[in-house]
Amino acid sequence: MNGSWLLGLSRVIPYLLLTFALMPVQAMLLALGHPMADHLPRYYHRWACRILGMNITVRGMPSHTHPTLFVSNHSSYFDIQILGSLVSCSFIAKADMMGWPLIGQLAKLQRSVFVDRKPANVGEHTNEVAKRLAAGDSLVLFAEGTTSDGNRLLPFKSSLFSVAEQAPPELHLTMQPISIIATALDGMPLGRSMRSLYAWYGDMPLMPHAWGAMKAGRLTVEVEFHEPFRADGMSRKQLCARSEAAVERGIVQAITGRPDSSMQSPPRSGEGAEIDAAA
């Protein structure tokens, strides 16, 4: 899909201006320990989503309990922008992201926790995640461990849930599964092949993919916040299975447009509402 390079420029230039203008502001807020450092990223992501032409449809309500470990599927770098616009949180990211141009710097400014999958370093990074949760910080875990093609859910890695399994009972750690999937372009449903316009996976080069998305029309992305639950007394395999089942049901519903009557509690306030990303 070729798209319009004029549309691409009208998005890329304002996005970069916004990003480079706010990066030193966020760095200063972090250095000063100012409370606004926890909130500026959310406003930034909202403005960015609007500039990038994202229509975000939200079902359910995000947990406002601290700490909450949000557990989501993952198909694109846009997931970070979209989830960051909806909840005040930090992300659990792969260690190699620290070296990525711009994205790595943005992740650091949002106080992301970088984890290395090498067995020798697992304990150290698990401790870092545990410290952040103990401090009351809410984190987002992409439990597939990589990005998918957006048409299916990859198996969740139960090892990633060990920090929730080991959380002390007095922490009362809340878990909330999230499903996120691109469903339409300019109001027309995305088919399997077109979903790669949003999804970035495999050996796709980053810059050409991002430029292709910028040149396209308005993408609709559906985000469903599933019923939160307490992690108390559950094993990592139980936490993994419960989260994976909820996320998968949400993806199937978003793709097919058919609700699964077995998955939902009664609709909550705000369910199914389309929001302005800059609201």
Provide the 8-state DSSP code for 99. Answer: G
pLDDT of residue 257: 82
pLDDT per position as a tens digit, 122-132: 566 778 899 99
**Is 188 exposed, middle or buried (CB count within 10 Å of its CB: 0-12, 13-18, 19+)?**
exposed
pLDDT of residue 100: 84
Amino acid at site 125: H
Provide the 8-state DSSP code for 155. Answer: P
Q: Strands of 134-246 (E only): list them.
A: 139-142, 174-185, 188-189, 219-225, 229-230
**Domain spans in the chain, listed from the N-terminal domain onward:** 5-260
Rounded mean pLDDT for each run of 10 residues along the chain, 279 residues in total: 85 98 98 95 97 96 96 97 96 88 92 78 76 96 95 94 93 97 95 93 94 94 98 95 98 84 40 40
Q: Is 270 left (phi over 0), alpha (psi -120 to 50) or beta?
A: left
Give the separation between CA 271 and CA 224, rounded to whole angstroms. Answer: 9
Length of the chain as a residue count: 279
Tokens of 199: 């999804």
Which residues lie closer than 8 Å to 269 by C-beta, 6 or more apart? Answer: 61
Give the separation between CA 180 and CA 254, rounded to whole angstroms. Answer: 9
Sort strands 219-225 and 273-275 into parallel, antiparallel or unpaired: unpaired
- Helix, strand, coil percentages in the chain from 3-state DSSP, rounded to 5: 45, 20, 35
Give the separation between CA 28 and CA 50, rounded to whole angstroms. Answer: 25
pLDDT of residue 277: 43
DSSP labels for 118-130? SHHHHHHHHHHHH
pLDDT of residue 2: 64
The class of domain 5-260 in CATH terms is alpha beta
For the entire predicted model, the pTM comes to 0.89
